[in-house]
Amino acid sequence: MKLKQPIKLKEIASFVNAKIIGDPDMEITGINEIHKVEEGDLTYVDFHKYYNMALESAASIIIIDKMVECPDGKALLVSDDPFTAYNSLTLKLRPFKSAIQSISESAQIGPGAIIQPNVFIGNHVKIGKNCIIHPNVTIYDYSEIGDNTIIHANTVIGSDAFYFKGREEGHYEKMHTVGRAIIEDDVEIGSCCTIDSGVSGDTIIGEGSKIDNLVHIGHGTVIGKNCLMAAQVAIAGKTHIGNNVKIYGKCGISKDLVVGDNAIILASSNVSKSLEGGKTYFGTPAVEAKQAWKELAMLRHLPEIWEKLKATT
């Protein structure tokens, strides 16, 4: 999330009750997670496994739960609970604002766009020209829809990220969503799809991509240009799908993965690790389709092989 106005470190430290290591007059211009930070951003880390990742990232300011050496050009905010500090800051900078009408006065809708009955359009939404938004679509605050895009009935764009931090047993604390959902030009999205906002960055559906009914796109995922996704595909958060990728029905793709350009994932496959582009994949876990088919052919002969083994013993 980029800020409208820069904020000085000492103001943030006072608000979250954290100790400053570095220049108190340093300014932040954005807030983001470790994997999406840019220079000027603030992020947080509360697990030693990710200390180096955060300290070596592009972030200018890091909320951290341990006194460590501050890298050159950065500043630290030392807090007993970085997650709560980060969450309270995002809540302050972008608080939830309830709707008072079906189409917010702050929404921008381009010329030629058709908005069917019972559509909800939240605060600060942008919709491009010549779009068609079908009945009962819900578009959450700050989402952006490009030109010539079609969204079919009952789809939800920009719902909260599914991101929770485990606390004591049986309790999870929700991270406040301040990211956006960005739908680029010439996209078509089917009925009953759900596309979550990024936690603090953006979920992006690339130009020209076409999505069937009943597809879920998790928070912070980036879909490339001219991709095709059939019904019941589910993609977890922070995954990157390249350009011209085809994903057939009922596929599941785990979080934090990369699927290369021009990959094809056949129906009912489950992807648990990153996949190279330009290849066809199948199975659980997904492997190159030719390999998967050979393995399945061998499995069909197992009863026969077993009977032969029994006969020789």
The catalytically annotated residue of 124, 134, 219, 301 is: 219
Integer CA distances (angstroms), 235 to 65, 183, 218, 284, in order: 32, 16, 6, 15
Question: pLDDT at residue 305 above 90?
Answer: no
Please give the single-letter amino acid code of residue 5.
Q
Instruction: Please say if 216 is a catalytic residue.
Output: no
Peptide bond into 285 cis (omega under 30): yes
The structural domains of the chain, ordered by start, are 2-93 (3.40.1390.10), 108-293 (2.160.10.10)
Query: Pick from 179, 100, 197, 190: which is nearest to 153 by CA?
Result: 190
- Percent of the chain exceeding pLDDT 90 equals 88
Question: pLDDT at residue 313 above 80?
Answer: no
In this predicted structure, what is the pLDDT of residue 161? Answer: 96
pTM of the predicted model as reported, rounded to 2 decimal places: 0.92
